[in-house]
């Protein structure tokens, strides 16, 4: 049976704060990385962040012992990346000594809830397509959208070669609705809305799994409560 907790070695090195993924590939090719005492030079190698022993240049490498879980209300104009020359990145909004990583993405023009963590196993489970936790969004379109268009999006649409999964949709006003997805394709909601002849004016994420945006101010962040973290871990452990 496939272990969905396995992650690529270069991604592990990046999440551990050793280097970027690109530099991690160079380290691997140069024979500087060992896994469980054996030199690894194959870029496709995967490791279990909880069990495998990784070393770079003979020095043990691990994910942060102190695990940090953060909810951020991402403003418009920031990119969900750890490094993006010429753009403002979400990590600029968070001032803590630990290095955290965004879970999933919100495009530059979207706002709302973004989770960040240095917990590699949880990060992988939340980002992996085989784990179908819910994500809820509030969407405003440029003009009133017909019931038929909402029905089509809820039932599933052909998008990028395959059908989107069924989604829950609730109308809020003639030009505003809420949609809950169990998948996260690139710019999926914007593409779905265009598919039914409309245009997204604003898109805000309200919830990821059991974590809600609530009254968190735009541009602000907070640590998740222990109860929220437990609920999040339970929700993806199945």
Residues 6+ apart with CB under 8 A from 236: 122, 125, 126, 131, 133, 209
What is the torsional sign of CA 49, 55, 56, 60? positive
Q: Distance between CA 34 and CA 28 in Å, rounded? A: 9
Q: What is the DSSP letter of 197?
A: T
Helical axes 120-127 vs 226-237, angle rounded to 10° = 50
- The DSSP H or E segment spanning 25 is helix 21-29
| Those residues with Cβ within 8 angstroms of residue 162's Cβ, 6 or more apart along the chain or in another chain | none
109 is catalytic: no
Q: Looking at 52, 95, 107, 109, which residue is catalytic? A: 107
Per this entry, what is the length of the chain?
238
- Give how far Cα 111 sits from Cα of 114, 120, 137, Å: 9, 24, 10
User: How distant is the alpha carbon of residue 72 from its chain centre?
Assistant: 12
Q: E strand or H helix at 135, and its extent?
A: strand 135-141
For residue 149, the number of C-alpha atoms closer than 13 Å in the C-beta half-sphere is 20
Q: How far apart are CA 134 and CA 182, in angstroms?
A: 5
Residues tagged active-site: 107
């Amino acid at each position: 049976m496939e272990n969905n907790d396995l992650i690529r070695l270069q991604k592990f090195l990046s999440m551990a704060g050793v280097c970027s993924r690109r530099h991690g590939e160079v380290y691997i090719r140069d024979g500087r990385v060992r896994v469980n005492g054996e030199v690894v030079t194959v870029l496709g190698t995967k490791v279990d962040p909880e069990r495998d022993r990784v070393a770079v240049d003979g020095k043990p490498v691990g994910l942060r012992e102190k695990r940090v879980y953060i909810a951020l209300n991402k403003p418009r104009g920031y990119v969900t990346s750890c490094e993006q020359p010429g753009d403002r990145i979400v990590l600029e909004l968070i001032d803590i000594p630990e290095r955290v990583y965004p879970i999933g993405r919100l495009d530059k023009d979207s706002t709302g809830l973004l989770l960040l963590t240095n917990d590699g196993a949880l990060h992988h489970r939340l980002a992996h397509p085989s784990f179908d936790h819910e994500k809820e969004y509030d969407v405003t379109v440029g003009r009133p959208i017909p019931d038929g268009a909402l029905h089509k999006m809820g039932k599933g649409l052909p998008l990028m070669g395959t059908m989107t999964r069924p989604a829950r949709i609730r109308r809020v006003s003639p030009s505003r609705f809420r949609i809950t997805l169990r998948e996260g394709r690139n710019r999926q909601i914007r593409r779905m809305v265009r598919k039914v002849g409309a245009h997204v004016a604003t898109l805000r994420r309200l919830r990821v799994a059991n974590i809600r945006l609530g009254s968190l101010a735009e541009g602000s962040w907070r640590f998740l409560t222990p109860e929220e973290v437990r609920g999040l871990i339970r929700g993806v452990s199945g």
